[in-house]
Structure 1
Amino acid sequence: MKITDASMEIYRWDRPVPIRNGMYTYPTVALNLIKLETDEGITGYGYMGGEHVTDEMTMGTFNNMKQYVIGQDPFDNERLWAEMWQPKLVGRRGTSTRAISGIDIALWDIKGKATDTSVHKLLGAYTDRIPVYIAGGYYEEGKGLNELAAEMETAVEMGSNAVKMKIGGAPINEDVERISTVREAIGPNIKLLMDANCAYRYYEAIELARKAEKYDVFWFEEPVNPDDYEDIASSAAPHRSQ
């Protein structure tokens, strides 16, 4: 089997109300649908994120990547990933990584369809169940504590046993109040996750974590920039000394 063509369709539509996390505002929804066609009539589909970059950059990055897969066997997905991932050729971050991931999803889709096997089986089927959470708790115009609580209560009513909320987009004490509100809304037995999207310096992250500790937070996602090794080390230092 060989891949004969690779294409992507870009979709954008406005949100009724823009949402915001600790660093970014999202006025639109982005969907970039990747399609890989083969000489055996099997088509694989993948998804590439594309917020905060132009459609031209998104499409250009994908077009640069697709040269690595056209004419190739989709079952060689590990080798194709490695070739797309080569340093100094196409980059290792941002839009490049998103394009690689979307193509890889489409390759796995082809493998599953070609073998009539669920991808989770192809990956080894370690388990037939995985824990999930509902992400929300974004900042929105006109959204106060009551609205935040109602949103999280709805997530629990839908059957979720874990919810994630955004922090880092408001003063620390205000965010602590938001965390307290969510904990009260979901009760003591639902896991509470919080995500700062790299909005803090290490000392701010430590302050927030200490103030939020009493609300039994299950994890604290992206407190600082992942490339800020100095801040990451500084964040860990107080805990090593205890």
Structure 2
Amino acid sequence: MKIVDVKTENYAWPRPRPITNGKHTYSNVRLAMVKIETDEGITGIGLGEAIGNDHDIFKAIAEYLKPQLIGEDPINVERLWHKMWVPKLVGRRGLTTRVISAIDIGLWDLKGKVTGIPLYKLLGGYRDSVPAYIAGGYYEEGKGLKELQDEMLQYVSWGARAVKMKVGALSLHEDAKRVKAVREAVGPEIKILLDANCAYRYYDAVRFARLVEEYDPFWFEEPVAAEDYEGLAKLAAKTSIPLATGENEYTRYGFRDLIAQKAVPILNADPKILGGFTEFMKVAALAQAHDLDIAPHGLQDVNIHVVPAIANGLLLEYYPVQLDPMWEKVYNYTLKLSSDGTVSPPDLPGLGVEPNYEELAKYRIG
């Protein structure tokens, strides 16, 4: 089997209303896709992380990488990863590594389709279902404390045993009131995850952690800038709240340096960003060697294969229908949260993703 072509498709559709985290506002949902075609008629689909208006750049990088892939056996994922990742020119960090990630995911999808095995089993198959948390609690126009409480209670009514909310866009005391309101609404047994999206300097993160510790957050995610390893270490020394970070970290080398700080027990490694499944498994093994857990950031359609594949997979991030008007329309198979708060991977070869092109065609941008 040989690779004969690599194509990209990019889509974007509007949200009912913009959502805001600690630093950014998102008006659209975006989907970046890589399609790897072979001479045997089997196509691998890779899902990527496209942000803003970078779809033209995403496509250009994929075109640049294509000559490294044409004529190659797609099963040789390790060989192809190292052909693409040449840090002097391409890779290390940023959009180039994100495109490599999408291609690598597509290669693994091909591998699963050729063998007829779901990816979570090919990658390790540690278990058949995983606990999930629902990622919500964004800032939205007209959303006060009561609306935030109602949102979180709805997630709990679906079976969720963990919920995530955003912090960092308001004053420390205003956000502390939001955390208090959520804890009062969901009770003591539901895990509350706080995500600042790098909004704080470490000294304000320390102050905020002190304000909310009494509400027993399960973790404090991305409290400071991704590169502020020293700030993470200073914060970890001053709070009992476990820290989580890593969604903006790249490759095993970035995670090596992050782990060396001994400040973060939970890594939010994202296969769509750090280098694909090939590199993610190296990060997972590195984390295991340090007894650290991984709760990947990002799309459940991708991460449903890595969380159950590894022994240190902690939680699956699950985006609800409220955040995406195309929910249940993007793919012909949609992952569902079970009443016990878990999600099971699809019993389908490869990634188990079959795009609904009829619906997606309305929103193609490149």
- 1:84 aligns with 84
Structural mapping, 1:3-82, within 5 Å: 3-82=3-82
- 1:232 aligns with 232
| Contact 2:210-2:239 at 8 Å conserved across structures | no
Partners of 1:136 and 1:13 in 2: how far apart?
19
The AA in structure 2 aligned to 1:158 is: W
Structural mapping, 1:107-186, within 5 Å: 107-186=107-186
* Local SS of the residue matching 1:89: coil
Q: Deviations 1:179-208 (Å, cap 9, x if unpaired)?
A: 111112222111111111111000111111
* Greater Cα offset, 229-238 or 122-131: 229-238
- 1:200 aligns with 200
- CA displacement at 1:132 relative to structure 2: 1.2
Q: Scaled by the length of structure 2, what TM-score is found?
A: 0.63
| Contact 2:206-2:239 at 8 Å conserved across structures | no
Q: How many corresponding residue pairs? A: 240
Unaligned runs of 5+ in 2: 241-366
* Greater Cα offset, 6-15 or 67-76: 67-76
The AA in structure 2 aligned to 1:123 is: L
Q: Deviations 1:119-159 (Å, cap 9, x if unpaired)?
A: 11111211122221110111111111111111111111111
* Greater Cα offset, 100-109 or 63-72: 63-72
* Local SS of the residue matching 1:131: strand
How many percent identity over aligned positions? 55
* Local SS of the residue matching 1:160: coil
Partners of 2:181 and 2:80 in 1: how far apart?
47
| Contact 2:168-2:197 at 8 Å conserved across structures | yes
More helix by share: 1
* Local SS of the residue matching 1:13: strand
With over 3 angstroms needed to count, the CA separation of the structure-2 counterparts of 1:33 and 1:210, relative to structure 1, is same
- CA displacement at 1:73 relative to structure 2: 1.4
- Structure 1 consecutive aligned stretches of length 4 or more whose deviation exceeds 4 Å: none
With over 3 angstroms needed to count, the CA separation of the structure-2 counterparts of 1:219 and 1:114, relative to structure 1, is same
Partners of 1:226 and 1:194 in 2: how far apart?
16
- 2:354 aligns with none
The AA in structure 2 aligned to 1:132 is: A
The AA in structure 1 aligned to 2:162 is: A
| Contact 2:20-2:139 at 8 Å conserved across structures | yes
Determine whether 1:215 maps to 2:215: yes
* Local SS of the residue matching 1:27: strand
Q: Scaled by the length of structure 1, what TM-score is found?
A: 0.93
Partners of 2:65 and 2:130 in 1: how far apart?
31
Partners of 2:92 and 2:52 in 1: how far apart?
17
Structure with higher RCO (Cα < 8 A, 6+ apart): 2
Partners of 2:40 and 2:8 in 1: how far apart?
20
Partners of 2:89 and 2:61 in 1: how far apart?
12
With over 3 angstroms needed to count, the CA separation of the structure-2 counterparts of 1:67 and 1:219, relative to structure 1, is farther
- CA displacement at 1:232 relative to structure 2: 2.5
* Local SS of the residue matching 1:194: strand
Q: CA RMSD, aligned part only?
A: 1.7
* Local SS of the residue matching 1:152: helix
* Local SS of the residue matching 1:133: strand
With over 3 angstroms needed to count, the CA separation of the structure-2 counterparts of 1:216 and 1:67, relative to structure 1, is farther
- CA displacement at 1:39 relative to structure 2: 1.1
Partners of 1:187 and 1:3 in 2: how far apart?
53
With over 3 angstroms needed to count, the CA separation of the structure-2 counterparts of 1:200 and 1:39, relative to structure 1, is same
- CA displacement at 1:239 relative to structure 2: 6.0
- CA displacement at 1:58 relative to structure 2: 2.3
With over 3 angstroms needed to count, the CA separation of the structure-2 counterparts of 1:185 and 1:56, relative to structure 1, is same
* Local SS of the residue matching 2:76: helix
| Contact 2:90-2:97 at 8 Å conserved across structures | no
Q: Deviations 1:193-230 (Å, cap 9, x if unpaired)?
A: 11111110001111111111111111111111121233
